[in-house]
Amino acid sequence: PQVLGWRVAAAVTWSVLLLPICTAAFIILSGLDPFHPVRWISNSFNDLYTSYVVFCIFLMSVVIIVISIFNVEFYAVVPLIPCSRLALIGKIIHPQQVIHSFVHAIMGMLVAWCATVMTKGRFQFLAVSCTPSESLEDAAPQMCLNEYHLFFLLSGTFLGYSYSLFYLINNMNYLPFPIIQQYKYLRFRRSLPLLIKHSCVESLYFVRNFCVTYYFFGYIPKVWICTTMDLHTDSKLHPLDTLSGLLDLSLFYHTWLSGVFLLMTWYIAWLLFKIYATESHHFPIQPTFAQETDQCLPKILNSNPPLLIKFLALQDLMLLSQYSPVRRQEVFSLSQPGGHPHNWTAISRECLSLLSDLTQRLIAQQEAAANGRAKLPVGELKVPPQTPGAVGIEDVSFQSQRSNIVLRTSMSPLVKPSLMPVKTSPGTDIASPFSSPALSYKMGVVDIKSPWHGPVRSPHVMRRGPKLWTSISDQQMNGSHDESFPVLSAARTGSEAVQPRFIYTWLQNKQEQIKNFLSKRALIMYFFSKHPEASIQAVFSDAQMHIWALEGLSHLVAASFTEDQFGVVQTTLPAILNTLLTLQEVVDRHFKLPHVSSKPPRISGSLVDTSYKTLRFALRASLKTALYRITTVFGEHL
């Protein structure tokens, strides 16, 4: 928290300090008058010192602080990639995202109001005096709605919501760490031209979309404002929800310019937060004082800090393993007294644990791709609540679920990687009645009543999975169910106890029927079907920390050949090579799966980072380089 706190404060401070520069540029461009340049420049500089401009700068500073708070609250070092269109819709309507969009829409309206105040002219006030065309000369003037001002306010609201929506869809909360370490000023200067270009182009598209929206629905807020504030409509002016009203070039230019101003100020705050948050940080290897133990690199790696801190720690490990011989000696040092390699043990254990977790995850994904959907572990199956009166009474539809047990094996990955214990994701389905018995056996799920369980596995015995739904006639045709009905009719208490479980069974059957019905509809499958590329990207979404673990571990092992005076690395070298070779085999098998591209896609230079889409290719290259680095250094000694 201390590491992130001052970085956020510095980013917000610089965002607020750069706001007057953006405001001055907006005032100069909003009063554009190329035919009278001297008057244009003098009027623009005179407006910079007026009280309303100072107030607008203060108000927009508050807006920048609010936007920065949301950047801090919504940042992520591991991007959340929706694998289907339904998952994307679920992200959009999530309560947190709804709050994010609502607040950004309000902030956009405030920025648009400041833009109208600083632009002056016909955009400045919401209500203006007007004279009805049918009135006589001595008629009193009335207050009419200034639709230009309303158009500006609604455009700011629309741009704020659109910014929030694109912030979610493009994973702009993702913090990519730079491959090449540079000064913060150089990173900002390099991104500034892209920021200006992106703001201009995006504002153009947003204003276009808003004009189309206002053409169809603009009369609704206009009528509501006139009714609420008792304002009239100036019939001398063209309404803006018509083609003639929207073809006003001056209106379009000022709306576009205010959109550029809004996006630039918000993107600057977002960019500065990214630059400061991903700056490398040096963690001490050994504590100088006792209270600094929790801030040491081995302690942070083996604890559960925020993901950003763990990423910074792994990045620091990668940097020290390459460029800091003094800190490498601290990693290889022994504790005093005792003479134990605590630093190396903690660092190597965490790196190997990360790589082993990735290996198991890839094995589970490959097994699911080869044999069908993987399944939830039995411990996560939903079982209806038990009641004391229902003891001894079993429902047939749950017998197969209740008879499953999980057998965890601990075989070496060198024997057969597919037999390793697999960590399944929350969306997997191992012991499905539709999955093959071989898949269930490989994943460690064994059905006691299955003909494949036990010393004899007859190939002539077919496994009968539970039906999707049952009826009374089906149960009466089966002789094994006839004995349960007299028991239920004889024991009234038992019947009342079993009734909630029958309701649960009926609901489950209806759910399966609905799923089967919807799966045959093309429109439904359009939203429910998973995109293969997105699913693959989701598997490697956190591969950046595995890349750093690979590079840091391999560089330390290579450096230990000449720098490790006590031989602490030699004790874990077999485990390191074993883990790397197993991961190499699993990664090679992954790239041979169908729908998996073997070449990384081209990433065009854009303000929004999409490097997470190519993390699997970077992981493969880092893994091969790490193995080559170790084998080249040790050579014939292996």
Q: Is 164 domain-assigned?
A: yes
Q: Is the pLDDT of residue 454 over 50?
A: no
The pLDDT of residue 458: 39
- Buried residues in 481-495 as b, exposed as e (16+ CB within 10 A): eeeeeeebeeeeebb
Higher pLDDT pick, 529 / 243: 243
Among 200, 162, 553, which Cα is nearest to 356's? 553
Q: What total number of domains does the chain contain?
A: 1
158, 108 contact by CB (below 8 A): yes
Q: Is 239 domain-assigned?
A: yes
pLDDT confidence of 125, banded at 50, 70, 90?
confident
Please give the distance of CA 267 from its chain centroid, rounded to a whole number.
Answer: 19
pLDDT confidence of 637, banded at 50, 70, 90?
confident
Residues 6+ apart with CB under 8 A from 184: 275, 276, 279
Instruction: Among 197-211, 246-260, 322-336, 399-413, name the one with the lowest average pLDDT.
Output: 399-413
Higher pLDDT pick, 410 / 179: 179
pLDDT confidence of 498, banded at 50, 70, 90?
low
Q: Is the pLDDT of residue 41 over 50?
A: yes
56, 111 contact by CB (below 8 A): no
CA distance 610 to 622: 19
Among 425, 453, 428, 452, which Cα is nearest to 371's? 428
The pLDDT of residue 523: 75
The pLDDT of residue 402: 32
User: What's the whole-number average pLDDT of the chain?
Assistant: 80
Higher pLDDT pick, 120 / 630: 630
Question: What distances in angstroms separate CA 48 from CA 21, 24, 268, one per listed residue?
Answer: 10, 7, 21
> Of 58-62, 419-423, 454-458, 632-636, which has the strongest mean pLDDT?
58-62
CA distance 532 to 529: 9
Q: Is 248 domain-assigned?
A: yes
Bridge partner list, 143: 129
The pLDDT of residue 437: 42
The pLDDT of residue 384: 37
pLDDT confidence of 392, banded at 50, 70, 90?
very low
Q: Is 38 domain-assigned?
A: yes
Among 320, 279, 74, 265, which Cα is nearest to 173's? 74
Q: What is the pLDDT of residues 302-322, one digit of tens each?
A: 988 899 999 999 999 999 999
Q: Is 314 domain-assigned?
A: no
Q: Is the pLDDT of residue 291 over 60?
A: yes
The pLDDT of residue 372: 57
Question: What distances in angstroms separate CA 348 from CA 287, 302, 324, 552, 569, one per listed residue?
Answer: 19, 10, 18, 10, 9
Question: What distances in angstroms separate CA 563 from CA 317, 326, 329, 420, 556, one per listed residue?
Answer: 17, 10, 7, 35, 9
- Buried residues in 20-43 as b, exposed as e (16+ CB within 10 A): eebbbebbbebbeeeeeeeeeeee
The pLDDT of residue 158: 97
Sign of CA dihedral 232, 233, 235, 236: positive
Residues 6+ apart with CB under 8 A from 440: 375, 430, 431, 446, 447
Higher pLDDT pick, 50 / 459: 50
Residue 134 structure tokens: 């049918």
Among 358, 303, 302, which Cα is nearest to 543's? 358
144, 128 contact by CB (below 8 A): yes
pLDDT confidence of 582, banded at 50, 70, 90?
very high
Q: Is the pLDDT of residue 192 over 90?
A: yes
pLDDT confidence of 339, banded at 50, 70, 90?
confident
Task: Tally Cβ neighbours within 10 Å of residue 445.
Answer: 21
Instruction: Among 129-133, 241-245, 274-278, 413-417, name the one with the lowest average pLDDT.
Output: 413-417
Q: 119: domain range? A: 2-277
Q: Is 244 domain-assigned?
A: yes
Q: Is 196 domain-assigned?
A: yes
The pLDDT of residue 312: 95
Among 275, 267, 278, 276, which Cα is nearest to 77's? 278
443, 430 contact by CB (below 8 A): yes
Residues of the chain with pLDDT > 70, as a percent, come to 77
Q: Is 410 domain-assigned?
A: no
- The answer, yes or no, to whether the previous bond of 337 is cis (omega within 30 of 0) is yes
The pLDDT of residue 133: 57
Residues of the chain with pLDDT > 90, as a percent, come to 49
Q: What is the pLDDT of residues 416-428, one digit of tens each?
A: 333 343 444 434 4
Q: Is the pLDDT of residue 140 over 80?
A: no
Q: Is the pLDDT of residue 189 over 90?
A: yes
146, 110 contact by CB (below 8 A): no
pLDDT confidence of 103, banded at 50, 70, 90?
very high
